């Protein structure tokens, strides 16, 4: 079994608005994945890993996973209305003890739309072929992924595969009768 690069570098990038994870790793096809330091050493001193030549077919894998929400089918909320009619009588001759009488009149409810939300998970994984020269210029692979993949995906969501998780948030509950 050939000697493999055994260390795996995983970097996570969290964004506060939506849960988003980005990971990157540097792999040499057929040999496995390792951290950037090991790869730089392999590029400058291949003999250190018992190879005659620096590695070729170096792939940087950039993987992004995102959890988010999308508008679902809206529902409605109904609130009952109550109408009160008050009547009383007064006179300028003598005091007449009259109270007021309230009459309650039921009337139609007020109905309002309320949004519902469906949770989604999206992912994309890109592979970039790089050279030893490019590896030597890198401080970390996350920056490479940000520069090459993140901007693309943010400009074009269709590059990600998005599927519903099945989880929903119903904002129609409480205070009325929610329907959806």
Partner 1 sequence: MRKFNLLFLILLASTSVFASNDYPHAYGEYVEINYDDKHAPVRPVGSGHEAVTERYGKLIVTEGDFTAESDNKPWSSWWYPRYEKTLFEDKGRNDLSTLSKYDRFARKSGQRRSNARNYEEQNLYTERAVDWAGLCDAWALASIMAEEPVRSVRKKGITFTVKDLKALVIKTYSKTNLKGHFGQRNNGAWDDHYEDIYPDQFHKFFQVELFEKRKPFIIDYDAGMQVWNVPVFKVKTKITADPQRDNMVNVKTFIWYASPFVKDLNFVGIRPITKIYKYKLFGRWTRQGFEVSGGQWMKESRRDHPDFVMAKPDRIKRGSFNKELQADIVDKILKGSY
Nearer to partner 1, 8 or 19 (CB): 8
The token pair that represents 46 in the structure block: 């291949």
Q: Would you count residue 125 as binding partner 1 (CB under 8 A)? A: yes
Q: How many residues bind partner 1 (CB under 8 A)?
A: 21
161 contacts partner 1 (rule: CB under 8 A): yes
Q: What angle do CA 101, 104, 107 make, to 5 degrees?
A: 155
Q: Give yes or no for residue 1 binding partner 1 (CB under 8 A).
A: yes
Residue 159 sits in the site that holds partner 1 (CB under 8 A): yes
Q: How far is the CB of 125 from partner 1 (least distance, A)?
A: 5
Task: Give DSSP secondary structure letters for 13-82.
Answer: ---SSS-EEEEEEEEETTTEEE-HHHHHHHHH-GGGGT-SS---SEEEEEEEEEEEEEE---EEEEEEEE
Q: What does the alpha-carbon distance between residue 35 and residue 28 come to, in Å, rounded to a whole number?
A: 11
Question: What residues between 26 and 65 interact with partner 1 by CB under 8 A?
Answer: 27-31, 56-57, 61
Residues lying near partner 1 in the complex (CB under 8 A): 1-2, 27-31, 56-57, 61, 124-129, 131, 152, 158-159, 161
């Amino acid at each position: 079994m050939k000697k493999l690069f055994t260390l795996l570098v995983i970097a996570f990038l969290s964004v506060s608005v939506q849960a988003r994870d980005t990971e990157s790793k540097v792999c040499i096809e057929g040999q496995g994945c390792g951290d950037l330091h090991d790869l730089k050493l392999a590029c400058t001193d291949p003999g250190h890993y018992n190879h005659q030549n620096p590695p070729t077919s170096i792939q940087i894998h950039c993987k992004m996973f995102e959890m988010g929400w999308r508008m679902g089918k809206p529902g409605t909320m109904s609130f009952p209305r109550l109408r009160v009619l008050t009547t009383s009588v007064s006179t300028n001759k003598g005091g007449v003890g009259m109270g007021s009488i309230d009459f309650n009149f039921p009337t139609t409810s007020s109905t309002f739309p309320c949004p519902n939300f469906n949770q989604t998970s999206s992912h994309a994984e890109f592979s970039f072929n790089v050279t030893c020269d490019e590896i030597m210029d890198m401080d970390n692979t996350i920056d490479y992924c940000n520069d090459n993949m993140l901007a693309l995906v943010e400009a074009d969501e269709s590059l990600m595969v998005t599927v519903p998780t099945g989880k929903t948030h119903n904002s129609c509950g409480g205070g009325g009768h929610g329907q959806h």
